[in-house]
Amino acid sequence: MNSADRLRETEKFLHAKIPLTRAMEVQVENYDAGQLTLSAPLAANHNHLGTAFGGSLAALAMLAGYALLWLELGDRDAHVVISESTLKFRRPVQNILRAICRAPVATALAQFKAEFAARGKARLQLEVVIENEGEVAVEFRGTYVARR
Amino acid sequence: MNSADRLRETEKFLHAKIPLTRAMEVQVENYDAGQLTLSAPLAANHNHLGTAFGGSLAALAMLAGYALLWLELGDRDAHVVISESTLKFRRPVQNILRAICRAPVATALAQFKAEFAARGKARLQLEVVIENEGEVAVEFRGTYVARR
């Protein structure tokens, strides 16, 4: 399966299995050069002030980490859950919500995959950024646990 | 306006101004004895494993803090935003999502209101818990900033 197909398949999986991602109109935009990008339109995700709702930002950032792990593990029997997260809201997001998860350094990712393969369980911390007009608006850090 | 009316008005405000709260089917259940309770059905908020989606849990916990501050401030010109949050996911939530925000101690709340009245800006940390069958499933801590 080529890369574009994998992104579409991941988006279809999210929409089919997690109804809130349909309501948010989440799109899996891109996964290239070690960066996964999810987006969601402001119209479906604004708050009472007309900027992005914090709950939508939290959900989109969390999903970016999930999506990166699913794509990296390529194992539909892997149950990935989040065990903790922190969010810092630096400034409002005034347009499309776009969450970028940068893959961890190759050794960390390789160790995560090796542990998962050997023990059926592994843990990884991921960072996600949401920008607004070229500036960091939201910083997310999440600890994910994969189990088979 | 009596208490039940205020809860309904807050729920209508959320649904009107934050579309994701409609998709989540958020209800403002109760605000009594210093505890505010929001709920949302699992059907609209499940994940790929059939338990509550972490993004929905994050959004509901965050909203519980907002709703408590709106009700306490009683000032529709107050702009309340969240500046940071932490979440710990202890166990899955397998049924209705119910987030409980306990009002801070009276002195902290009074100080927050006095600061807001005097300076038009105040900051407060709130804790929210989401339970599953009587056990703590999710712990949320958020720092909120109110501005006029």
- Are the C-beta atoms of residues A33 and A102 closer than 8 Å to each other? no
pLDDT digit string (tens) for A48-102?
Answer: 999 999 999 999 999 999 999 989 988 767 889 999 999 999 999 999 999 999 9
More confident residue, B5 or A75: B5
pLDDT digit string (tens) for B60-75?
Answer: 999 999 999 989 988 7
Chains A–B, number of C-beta pairs less than 8 Å apart: 106
Tokens encoding A4: 């574009």
Q: pTM of the prediction?
A: 0.95
Which chain B residue has the Cα nearest residue A42? B19
The reported pLDDT for the residue numbered B127 is 98
Q: Which of A23, A45, A83 sits opposite B89 (nearest CB)?
A: A83
Strand partners, A79: A147
Residue written as token pair 């997260």: A85
Region B5-24: mean pLDDT is 95
Residue B1 has pLDDT above 60, yes or no: no
User: Between chains, do A56 and B59 touch, taking CB under 8 Å as contact?
Assistant: yes
pLDDT digit string (tens) for A94-137?
Answer: 999 999 999 999 999 999 999 999 999 999 999 999 999 999 99
pLDDT digit string (tens) for B108-129?
Answer: 999 999 999 999 999 999 999 9
- Are the C-beta atoms of residues B81 and B125 closer than 8 Å to each other? no
Q: How confident is the model at residue B57 (pLDDT cuts 50, 70, 90)?
A: very high
Residue written as token pair 């960066």: A35
Region A33-56: mean pLDDT is 96
Q: How confident is the model at residue A22 (pLDDT cuts 50, 70, 90)?
A: very high
Region B93-117: mean pLDDT is 95
Region B31-48: mean pLDDT is 95
Whole-number Å distance between alpha carbons of B93 and B50: 9
Identify the helix (H) or strand (E) that includes residue A128. strand A121-132
User: Between chains, do B55 and A60 touch, taking CB under 8 Å as contact?
Assistant: yes
How far does B95 lie from chain A, in Å, by closest CA? 15
